[in-house]
């Protein structure tokens, strides 16, 4: 399964791409009882460390800051029928508390899958990383409505239709432009938020949101009006807050 997931991350747009394989049952956000669709999706129903969650009662001080080493480079924009994703080709990396990871891709959900003290945001970007052993780590960047976001404009002006070839962005893209100045984050162990909902994913949800315009939100919603999984039970997990 780890090899299959790694291949999906590297060859398509992300966590949800695995479900597009012909031998897996199709799924939608309108009917999120994914665990009943296919034996491969059983963890979506039976897992005890599922994502996303409503983040409450975080314990402060247990995690060191993330050191981002993102780099400007070429990138491709993909549409896999569940989201829009960006695959950077600049060799971006991040040093997380659990070690060194490469940024494989980032993609978007509306509304935000992450909820903080009951609050949902208009959109979130999931920045998907993988280390040399195939361990996944996600950095989630929340968006709130405000001014136009330059990097979002760069990506959303190139969104292909589902089934179309990936679009190579003009010029270069630096994923670090997505990050807020304050990078304090919540941390917990969870899962992929799409089938097969595999667990053991390390989540880092940046507390400070970044701005995105109403027009940019509308542009994404024209393709995907809603592509967020409902929050899942915490089941006793501890949520940390970084230093």
Q: 235 falls in which pLDDT band (50, 70, 90)?
A: very high
* pLDDT of 15 strictly over 80: no
Domains of the chain are 2-21+35-231+238-242 (3.10.200.10)
In this structure, the chain runs to a length of 243
Q: For residue range 49-97, what is the model confidence (pLDDT) as tens digits?
A: 999 999 999 999 889 999 999 999 999 999 999 999 999 997 999 999 9
pLDDT: which is higher, 197 or 9:
197
| pLDDT above 80 (res 20) | no
Percentage above 90 pLDDT, the chain: 87
pLDDT of residue 96: 97
Average pLDDT on 102-123 reads 98
Dist. CA 218–CA 235, nearest whole Å:
35
Comparing C-alpha atoms, which of 16, 61, 60 is closest to residue 41? 16
Mean pLDDT of the chain: 91
pLDDT given for residue 12 in this prediction: 32
Which residue is associated with the tokens 């679009």? 167
Q: Around 147, how many Cα atoms within 13 Å sit in the side-chain half-sphere? A: 2
Is residue 82 part of the annotated active site? The answer reads yes
Half-sphere exposure of 224 (CA within 13 A, CB side): 27
State the distance between the two ends of the chain, measured CA to CA, in whole angstroms: 34
pTM beyond 0.95: the answer is no
Q: Is 77 exposed, middle or buried (0-12, 13-18, 19+ CB in 10 A)?
A: buried
| Predicted confidence band of residue 121 (pLDDT cuts 50, 70, 90) | very high
Of 82, 109, 129, 204, the catalytic one is 82
Check pLDDT > 70 for residue 2: no
Contact assessment for residue 139 and residue 129, using Cβ atoms and an 8 Å cutoff: yes
Is residue 8 predicted with pLDDT exceeding 90? Answer: no
pLDDT of 1 higher than 90: no
pLDDT tens digits for 48-58?
999 999 999 99
């Amino acid at each position: 399964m780890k090899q299959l997931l790694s291949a999906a991350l590297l060859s398509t747009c992300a966590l949800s791409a695995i479900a597009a394989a012909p031998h897996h049952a199709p799924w939608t956000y309108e009917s999120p009882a994914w665990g009943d669709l296919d034996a491969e999706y059983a963890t979506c129903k039976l897992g005890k460390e599922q994502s996303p969650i409503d983040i409450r009662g975080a314990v402060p001080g247990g995690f060191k800051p993330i050191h981002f080493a993102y780099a400007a480079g070429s990138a491709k924009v993909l549409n896999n029928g569940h989201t829009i994703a960006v695959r950077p080709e600049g060799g971006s990396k991040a040093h997380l508390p659990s070690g060194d990871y490469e940024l494989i891709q980032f993609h978007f959900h509306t509304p935000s899958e992450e909820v903080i003290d009951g609050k949902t945001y208009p959109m979130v970007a999931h920045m998907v990383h993988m280390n040399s052993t195939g361990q996944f780590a996600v950095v989630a960047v929340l968006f709130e409505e405000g001014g136009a976001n330059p990097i979002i404009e760069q990506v959303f002006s190139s969104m292909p239709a589902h089934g179309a070839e990936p679009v190579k962005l003009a010029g270069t893209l630096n994923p670090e432009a997505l990050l807020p100045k304050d990078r304090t984050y919540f941390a917990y162990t969870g899962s992929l938020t799409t089938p097969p909902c595999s667990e053991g994913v390390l989540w880092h949800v940046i507390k400070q949101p970044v701005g995105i315009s109403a027009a940019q939100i509308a542009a994404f919603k024209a393709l995907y009006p809603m592509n967020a999984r409902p929050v899942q039970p915490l089941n006793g997990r501890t949520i940390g807050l970084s230093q």
